[in-house]
Amino acid sequence: CSPMRYEHTGEAALTGLKHNIPRFLHPPYVTCVPCNFFLLPELKKALRIYRFGAIQANKQDN
């Protein structure tokens, strides 16, 4: 175990403030997130009105 082990993140934050460790501000979202991360929830909302049967039933229709 390392001597700098913290049981709670608040303790780590207070220790950082006491020792003047610089804080890094992060953007509200990760810049490398693919666009479909934001697209999929919208697509899910749009498809909610449709009812899809079982895969086997769809294969029999074709």
**What pLDDT score was predicted for residue 1?**
46
* Better-predicted residue by pLDDT, 43 or 36: 43
Give dist(CA 59, CA 62) in Å, integer. 5
Predicted pLDDT at 8: 60
SS3 at position 20 = coil
Highest mean pLDDT among 3-7, 18-22, 27-31, 37-41: 18-22
DSSP string, 9-27: HHHHHHHHHHTTPPP----
40, 33 in Cβ contact below 8 A? no
pLDDT tier at 7, thresholds 50, 70, 90: low
Q: Which pTM was predicted? A: 0.28
The angle subtended at Cα 26 by Cα 20 and Cα 28, nearest 5°, is 145
Q: 23 versus 56: which is more confidently predicted?
A: 23
